[in-house]
A and B are shown apart, each in its own frame.
Chain A
Amino acid sequence: MADLIKLTTPLDDAAVAQLKAGDQVSISGVLYTARDVAHKRLVDTLDAGKPLPFDMTGQVIYYVGPSPAKPGQVIGSAGPTTSYRMDLYAERLMEVGMKGMIGKGMRDKKVVDAMKKHKCVYFAAIGGAAALIARSIKAAEVIAYDDLGPEAVRRLVVEDFRAVVINDVNGNDLYEIGKAQYRKAK
């Protein structure tokens, strides 16, 4: 496997542009969480001309709804949720500076095209490896939409959060590349 690339958030265009589909990355810094309903609220906020609950410039959004933290824990288990449900909202967030998304599963072509246009990357974390992933999360705080429970927007501080680049800014797709390499079916 390829060498591990260390990334520190927030990301700029240069950091994003160097990444290629298939690169293994270790992310440290701040991630913001958002999933279905939170995305709708973020986009509705933008459409209403109001400010977002956090500055999106250079940020990486992690699609996750964690389990509740036990006493003394920072966060409960916290693996990625399936990304296509956020496809409808992704480009709108890229327009205001989002540089990365972490989830699992394939994205719509429109999102991949938008990533090329706005210089944004899509990473996958290992779906279901949630107890392990939680160990790389060092701090967690709900910063918006507390009423949504697991779907609230959280500010996470992560260290050595492992992910792989699925879609890079050149339109490459690791799911397609990997599948083609091992395909036996005609």
Chain B
Amino acid sequence: MRTIHADIIAKAVKEMVIKANTDLGADVVAAFEKGLKDEASPVGQAVFKTLIKNAEIAATEQAPICQDTGMAVFFVELGQDVHIEGALLQEAIDEGVRQGYAEGYLRKSICDPFTRVNTKDNTPSVVLVEMVKGDKLKITAAPKGGGSENMSRLTMLAPSAGKKGIVDFVVKRCEEAGSNPCPPVIVGVGIGGSAEKCMTNAKKALLRKIGAPNPDKELAELEAEMLEKINALGMGPQGLGGLVYAMAVHIEKHPCHIASLPVAVNICCHASRHKEATL
């Protein structure tokens, strides 16, 4: 049994949320460079150039890439041999969020759903825990903006809908989302599981490095098919017309009930912000 103090977790979370919101990952910037080459529309090319410049400014000035620094979502892999002392895991992570969003001059965007009164410190965060072997604690910060999150959808297809039904749903969802989720986007897709597992997987799929192939060949082919069909709609960067609306489609699959074929879409804007730490 290994003990990790809540203060250590809070400190790591504080640093991660600031870094995630100001320093865009190399894979995302590389995807912008690729998008610039692939895009035929002059307006779309200009969008990619602007996003590259914006990422440079944000990293240099330690400024938020986007003013919407998101709801603070965390994927946690908690080793079974870890004992956390000093606070609950949720409290430790929330403390890190509180400190990071204050010290990093990040926007506090969390409010009561009815009164719309802001909690003023961007808590509570959303903490998704998976128990794993070992004595390590791995935390991935994945702040998510409201504009792209609002475009999420879940459907429970009949099993007879099959792969075609899945592809049609995902492509239609992107067409309906249009310019709203700040394209060029990454499309996270959950297939199978229960309703909530499916949506969690759609979001988890966004953690994969852009352009990294899906290790499952069948899913890799499905991702390629969806990407081609989504981009064939012609919506392009920012929805202004062009060839690159989506930079990638990422799928996570899970077994499901014999009566069900759940499909979830969780779209990520071009500010695909993830940072991880292992304690």
Contact = CB atoms under 8 A, between A and B. Distances in A.
Given A129-B51, A130-B65, A178-B234, A66 B147 contact: no
Interface stretch (A11-19, A42-50, A52-60, A76-84): A76-84
B10 interface: no
Contact of A183 (B118, B234, B269): B234
Interface residues of A, number: 46
Interface residues of B, number: 50
Interface string B43-65: 10011001101100110010111
B279 interface: no
Given A68-B107, A124-B179, A180 B50 contact: no
Interface in A102-146: 104-106, 124, 126-132, 134-135
B239 A183 contact: no
Interface string A60-94: 00001111111000001111011010000000000
A171 to B, nearest CB: 18
A178 B242 contact: yes
A65 B180 contact: no
Contacts of A105: 147, 178-180, 239
A130 B24 CA distance: 13
A149 B120 contact: yes
B128 interface: no
B179 A104 contact: yes
A127 B240 CA distance: 12
B232 A81 contact: no
B167 interface: no
Given A130-B54, A181-B241, A76 B63 contact: yes
A81 B238 CA distance: 13
Given A81-B68, A128-B182, A134-B63, A76 B116 contact: no
Nearest to A76: B105
A132 B67 CA distance: 11
A64 B238 CA distance: 17
B67 A78 contact: yes
Contacts, number: 165
Given A1-B42, A126-B50, A175-B178, A77 B241 contact: no
B233 interface: yes
B150 interface: yes
Given A37-B116, A128-B51, A175 B63 contact: no
A153 interface: no
Interface string B231-263: 011111011111100000000000000000000
A64 B233 CA distance: 28
Given A76-B107, A84-B180, A130-B64, A182 B58 contact: no
B67 A182 contact: no
Contacts of A179: 233-236, 239, 241
B269 A182 contact: no
B238 A67 contact: no
Contact of A131 (B42, B54, B108, B150): B54
Given A66-B67, A67-B105, A131-B65, 13 more contacts: A65-B67, A68-B105, A69-B105, A81-B68, A82-B146, A104-B147, A127-B147, A132-B50, A135-B57, A150-B107, A178-B43, A178-B235, A178-B242
Interface of B: 40-43, 46-47, 50-51, 53-54, 57-58, 61, 63-69, 105-109, 116, 118, 120, 146-147, 150, 178-180, 182, 229, 232-236, 238-243, 269-271
30 contacts: A68-B105, A76-B63, A77-B63, A77-B64, A77-B66, A84-B180, A104-B147, A104-B179, A104-B180, A128-B51, A128-B66, A129-B53, A131-B58, A132-B50, A134-B63, A148-B118, A149-B120, A150-B67, A164-B43, A175-B178, A175-B240, A175-B241, A177-B241, A178-B236, A178-B239, A181-B241, A182-B41, A182-B242, A182-B243, A184-B234
In the A-B complex, list the 7 residue pairs whose CB atoms are closest, starting with the nearest: A178-B241, A183-B234, A182-B234, A127-B182, A105-B180, A184-B232, A185-B232
